[in-house]
Structures are given as structure tokens and as C-alpha cells.
A and B are shown apart, each in its own frame.
Chain A
Amino acid sequence: MSISSRRSALALSAAAAMVVLAACGGSSSDESGLTAGDLGGAPEAGVVKDGVLKGQSVQFVGYGGDIQKLQVGILTPWATKSGAKITQDSPTDYAKLKAQVTAGKGTWDVVDVEDSWAAANCGTLLRKLDDKIIDRSQLPEDNKGTDCAVPIVGTGNIFAYNADKLKTAPQTWADFFDTKTFPGKRGVYAGNPVAIFEAALMADGVAASDLYPLDVDRALKKLDTIKSSLVFWTTGAQAQQMVESGQADMGIFWSGRVLNGVKAGANWKAVHDRPLLQYDVLVVPKSAPNPVAAMSLINFALGEEASTKTTEGSGYPGTNVNSKPKVDKVTGEFQANVAPFKDPVTIDSEFWGKNVADYIDKWTTWING
């Protein structure tokens, strides 16, 4: 292809992108005129073509700390291969993201957010992800993400307990609500009622397949029975502290935080009954300056290798179905999406996205009651 025909092809695709833009109110076209077509054909998770993004730059935003270091390390081969550059910011801050979109001018291209938040803000703050750039085929059947988000790493909301305090091991969610057989303080997340409502309903006999739409009044009634035994945590660090300090004897925690506590010497064990899985998803804000490159990076993050490295590096489950991470025995005990955990339940992020504001009012009323 001669330079001039290449240039006219570019111009044509740019013009086509403008039409698409006008037609469906914004899809993946760059300020630089880059389009999905420039990435070199049909997408495959984890694969990026050589040199297609030379001179481009993508800003990745995560929650900071070790996990972001790990994430950026995993994504670096994408940059090397495509010729693009990764810049970073942290932490993820929804208000800041909204401010960038409202101002119509932002720097964030790819942001690591919670799945229910992404579901609630799809189309308003977040761009629809382009199937021509992102390949979802290697995601699990029941967890393909939403229009604006793809899952990259899971968190199990698991029932864990202090094995030094509890002489008999609890077995099921029902045991979490049995304060007679298993007395003790129960640590639960206070920021929102995601997972605890599901846990209460399952303990009350609702089958995992019948959870949604959630019967909130029934869940709160069940929770009334253990209210005086609850202690609340609001950050992952607090959860871990509860595990290590003995402030709680059991609780519903993010699996990785219990794992950290165990690695620090706490004798805690996981109950392997129906862990409630939530996912961190990657999204592209509407204000992203480089959406095409951003989605290319997201496509890379969905690959088998990225998924394997994520699990091996963090202990949290990745989302690629072909991934076979090798983890040590202790970490394996807290891998909420695989055995020995039985029948993992994926929390319905779209349902929560729609209802979280109302349920937080009910939850706040309940815990302050």
C-alpha cells in the first residue's frame, strides 16, 4: 500500500468514524483519528499487533499500591509490543472520574472500578466497549461483563473464621447466622450491603439461582437475628486488621484480606460454602482522550497470560477461562472461584447498579437503628 493510498484509507476510516460518532453518539474514535480498524483485524484476548499504536499513550488508573504495580507490570508487554506508552494515576475516585466527564476533558483512559458501579454508570459516564477491539470469548459464560465493562479480577466475599476461637468449624452460610452454636463477633462490610444481603437470603433458604431480585426485607429480617453480634469494617485494611487483631471471631470478608491476615500469622480458615464473587472491571470514561488505545489495552488484560499473572501475583482469581495459575497451598485455600470452594455465586452487578442507592438508604437505616 502506497503512502498516499494509506493516507486516504486513514482519512476514509476517520470519516467513517465521524459518521458512526454522529450516528450513535460516540464510539471508539480518537482525537488522533485512530479507529478500531487501525489495530489490525479481529481482536483476540491478550494479543496486540506489533507497532500499531506507535506514539500513542494510555493512562491507567487503579487503586494504587502493590496491586497497581502488579497490574502495570502485567500490562507492560502490551506497551512494548504496540509501541504505546502507559502512564499512571491512582487511586480510582468516582467523583474525580465524574468531574472529568462533566468537564468534557480528562486524562484517564482505562480505570479499574467496581462492577456494580460500572453497571450503574454505563452510557452516562462510561463508553460502550467496542467488540471490534475487545474479545470477550475467553471470559466465563456467566461473567462476560456489561456493555461498558469487562471483569479482570475477582474478589470472593467469603465466610471466614478464627480457628483458634471456634472449636467446631462452621460449614455453611446458615452457620453464620447461628449465634447459639457459633457465638462471637462477626465482621461485615458497612459501605454497602452487597454480598451480605445475598448471604442472609441463602442462609434463610433461598437458592442461589433465585436470589435476584433480592428480597431486601427478608434479608434484613434475617440480619436482625445477629445484629448484636456484628462489627463493621469499611476498608480492606480494617478488615485485615479485624482478622489479625481478634476484633472479630468470624466475618464476611474479601478473600484476599483474610489471606493477607493468614500470611501474617492469623489462624483463620475459609468456609467453602457458596462464595459470593464480585469483580473489578476495566472501563473507559467518556472523557478518555485515547479510547482506541485504551480498549486495546483492556483487550490485552483479558488474555490468558495476564489473568494467570494476576492470580499468581495477587492471590485474587483472574477471569480468563484458559488460565491455569500456580499458587501455593495457602493461597489456594482462598481462591474463591475454584475448589475447594463449592458453587460460587456471581453477584449480579447490573441488579446492584440499578438498586444500590436505594438499598444503601435501607442499609444505613438498618445499621443506625
Chain B
Amino acid sequence: MADSSPFVGAGARRRLAPALVVPGLVIIGFVALYPLVLALLDSITQRDNGQSPYAWVFDNPVYLKIIWRTIVTALIVAGMCVLVGYPLAYVMATTRSARARSVLLLLVVLPFWTSFLVRVFAWLILFQPDGIVESVLQPFGFDGAILGSVWAPRIAMVQLLLPFMVLPMYATMRGIDPSLLRAAESLGASPREAFARIFLPLSLPGVGAGCLIVFIMSLGFYVAPALLGSPTTSLVGQAVFQQVGTLLNFGRGAALAAFLLAITLMVLGIAALMRRLLGSRTSDA
């Protein structure tokens, strides 16, 4: 494969490749790996009255509960992003109007140009008691405060993270050859069947990539739950902040963060496994 590059000969390319990754690796090494190793060391070596940070987590089941709540929240946010994002990405990828496509793309990307914090504060205003969101929900029998509920940060996170779901799905869908669908239909499949048996499976890698990004980013969210949620339904980010920011207990903060890291690695592992299984199945077929 490597020899097929029209720009650089294979030999030159092989010699260049290590040099090309050095700057990136150096940055990642210093700003990500090195602090991560230090934090993990803290979480392993620190003792408070003889207790290790991990023993502390298991001694206070509330932190396991908070970790579990964080996982559930991340799953819900990823799920809601798929529900909202898939149709949007589908229309963006399949519309024949170039203008509609650019307008939709612009709308998806627009939030990137607004400060994250500003968007959270915007939600803070929308979620006010008797504010817009509450008055819209009231006719549907919603009664109570949305601000400070577990749903306020989830709704906001869907909006904040939607681009990370839509863009990979859109990229994958754009790569699906429309003639495959036409072929299916010419062979007698209904449009619905063509979608379900051709388009949907081919778009799944995009959905998977989007879900991974959104799920992993949700795990570490701090600002939205801190400002919109309630401490009664806090997520891991808030617990980490409490330990590190106010109690200066870096070890315990790192232990909580280590759980997130473990979950993330597990999810990545599962994703890699699934890709291999699915990949081998398609190559068998």
C-alpha cells in the first residue's frame, strides 16, 4: 500500500515517517502522558491515615454511585446525540441541494465558534424557573424544576456535543456510494429496505466513532453539570474537583480519574474488538 504514494518514494517515506511523528509524540508525551503518569503514581502511593485513595473510594460507596451515574449520563447523552444527529447527518449527506448542505453544515459547526462556557450560561438562562424550557414542557405535564435536575446537564450536553456526533456520521455517510442504493432498488428492494440493509450498516462505523467521542467526552464533563445540575446528582468531574480543588487531595482526585480512564480504555477495547469481529464477518461474506 505504502508504495502507491505518488508523492514520495517508499524508501524516503519509510525514513521520514519516524521524524514526522516526533513533534506530535513529544507534545502528547509532555502534556498528556507525563502528568497522567504522575497522577496515577499519586493515586497509588498516597496514604491518608494509612488509607489508599482506592480504598477510600470503596469505603465511600457514594463515589461508586457517582461513577455509575456518570456512565449512565454518558450513555444517555451519546444515545440522544444519535437520535438527534443521525437524521441530521443523513439529510446533510444525501441532499442534492449543495446550498442546503452548506447551510446545515454551518449550523452544526456554528456552536464551535461560540465559547463553551457561554453556551452553558445560555442554557442556565433557558432553564430558569418559569423560563422558556419549563413553560414549553408544562403543557406536557412536566411539573417541577428542570434547573438542578439530572436532566438539565444532559440536555445541555447533547447540544454541546452534537457536532462531535454529526461530523463523523456525515463523513461516513458521504463516503457511501449512492449507486449501491440504486442497485439495491433496481434489484427490487423498497427504499426503506435499501436504507435498512445497505445504508444503515454502511453508516454504522460513523455512528460508532461519534458515540465513542461523545461518550468519552461526556465522562469528563465538569462545567455543565456543575452549573446546571445539582450536587445531589453530581458527576465524577465534580467529585474530582472537590478533592483536588478544595481539599487538595490529589491522590483521591487521581483515583477517581483513574476510574474514568479505566472505563474509557474498556470502551475503546470493546470498540476495537467489535470492529475486528464485524470486519472479519464482512470479509468472510
Interface residues of A (CB under 8 A from B): 93-95, 98, 117, 121, 190-192, 231-232, 234, 245-247, 356-357, 360-361, 364-365, 367-369
Contact indicator per residue, chain B 229-268, by CB within 8 Å of chain A (1) or not (0): 0111110000100101111110000000000000000000
Q: Report 16 cross-chain contacts, Cβ distance below 8 Å, ordered by A residue.
A: A94-B245, A95-B248, A190-B232, A192-B246, A231-B148, A245-B128, A245-B129, A247-B129, A357-B247, A357-B249, A361-B60, A364-B231, A364-B239, A365-B61, A368-B65, A368-B232
B145 interface contact, C-beta 8 A: yes
Q: Is A365's CB under 8 angstroms from B244's CB? A: no
Known: A190-B231, A245-B128, A356-B247. A368 touches B145 (CB 8 A): no
- Contact status of A95 and B245, CB under 8 A, knowing A232-B148, A367-B231: yes
With the chains together, A190 CA to B230 CA distance in Å?
9
Q: How far is the CA of A192 from the CA of B231 in the complex (A)?
A: 11
- Find the B residue at minimum CB distance from A369: B62
**A98:B65 contact, CB within 8 angstroms:** no
Q: Please tell me if the beta carbons of A247 and B145 are within 8 angstroms of each other in the complex.
A: yes
A360-B247 Cα distance, complex, nearest whole Å? 9
Given A232-B148, A234-B226, A95 and B249 contact (CB-CB distance below 8 Å): no
CB distance from A287 to the nearest CB of B (A): 14
Contact across chains for A232 and B230 when beta carbons are under 8 A apart: yes
How many chain B residues touch A (CB < 8 A): the figure is 26
Contacts of B157 in A (CB 8 A): none
Question: A231 — which chain B residues lie within 8 A by C-beta?
Answer: 145, 148, 230
User: Please, how many angstroms separate the alpha-carbon atoms of A79 and B54 in the complex?
Assistant: 49
Cβ A94 vs Cβ B128 within 8 A: no
Chain A nearest CB from B278 CB (Å) reads 39
Q: A361-B62, A368-B65 are in contact. Are A232 and B246 (CB under 8 A)?
A: no
Check A121 against B248 for contact (C-beta < 8 Å).
Answer: yes
CB distance from A221 to the nearest CB of B (A): 18
Residue of A nearest to B252 (CB): A357
Is B248 in contact with A98, judged by CB distance below 8 angstroms?
A: yes
Q: What CA separation (Å) do A332 and B31 show in the bound complex?
A: 51
Beyond A191-B242, A247-B147, A360-B242, is A368–B248 a contact (Cβ under 8 Å)?
no
C-alpha spacing A190/B226, complex, angstroms: 11
Residue B66 interfacial (CB < 8 Å): yes
Query: Nearest residue in A to B231 (C-beta to C-beta)?
Result: A190
CB distance from A98 to the nearest CB of B (A): 5
Tell me the smallest distance from the CB of B64 to a CB of chain A, in Å.
11
Candidates A232, A364, A369; contact of B242 at CB < 8 Å: A364
Is there contact, CB below 8 Å, between B62 and A364?
Answer: yes
In the complex, which residue of chain A has the Cβ closest to the Cβ of B124?
Answer: A241
Check B231 against A234 for contact (C-beta < 8 Å): yes
Nearest CB of B to A177, in Å: 19
Distance of A234 Cα from B148 Cα, bound (Å): 11
Q: What is the CB-to-nearest-CB distance from A224 to chain B, in angstroms, rounded to a whole number?
A: 14
The CA of A246 and the CA of B61, in the complex, are separated in Å by 34
Shortest Cβ distance from B257 into chain A, in angstroms?
14
Q: How far is the CA of A357 from the CA of B48 in the complex (A)?
A: 10
| A36 vs B230: C-alpha distance when bound (angstroms) | 49
Would B60 and A365 count as touching, CB distance under 8 A? yes
B 78-95 binary contact with A (CB < 8 Å = 1; else 0): 000000000000000000
New contact pairs (4) apart from A232-B148, A232-B232, CB-CB < 8 Å:
A95-B245, A232-B231, A360-B242, A369-B62
Which positions 29-76 of chain B face chain A at CB distance < 8 Å? Answer: 48, 60-63, 65-66
Docked pose: A369 CA to B66 CA in angstroms: 11
Q: Which residues of chain A are within 8 angstroms of B233 by Cβ–Cβ distance?
A: 368
Which residues on the A side are within 8 Å of B226 (C-beta)?
234
B249 / chain A contacts, CB cutoff of 8 Å: 357
The chain B residue sitting closest to A117, CB to CB, is B246
* Contact with B62, one of A94, A191, A245, A368 (Cβ below 8 angstroms): A368
Residue numbers in A under 8 Å from B232 (CB-CB): 190, 232, 367-368
On chain B, the residues within 8 Å of A95 by CB distance are: 244-245, 248
* A241 CB, min distance to chain B CBs, angstroms: 9
Do A191 and B246 contact each other (CB < 8 Å), given the known contacts A247-B145, A368-B234? yes
- A364-B252 Cα distance, complex, nearest whole Å: 15
**Which residue of chain A lies nearest to B230 when distances are taken between CB atoms in the complex?**
A232
Q: Which residues of B contact A368 (CB under 8 A)?
A: 62, 65-66, 231-234
CA distance A121 to B234 in the complex (A): 27
The complex places the Cα of A109 from the Cα of B219 at a distance, in Å, of 37
**Residues of chain A lying within 8 A (CB to CB) of residue B247:** 356-357, 360
Q: CA of A324 to CA of B61 in the docked complex: distance in angstroms?
A: 51
Residues of B within 8 A of A94 (CB): 245-246, 248
Whole-angstrom distance between the alpha carbons of A95 and B48 in the complex?
18
For residue B60, which residues in chain A have a CB less than 8 angstroms away from its CB?
Answer: 361, 364-365
A121 to B246, alpha carbons, bound, how many Å?
12
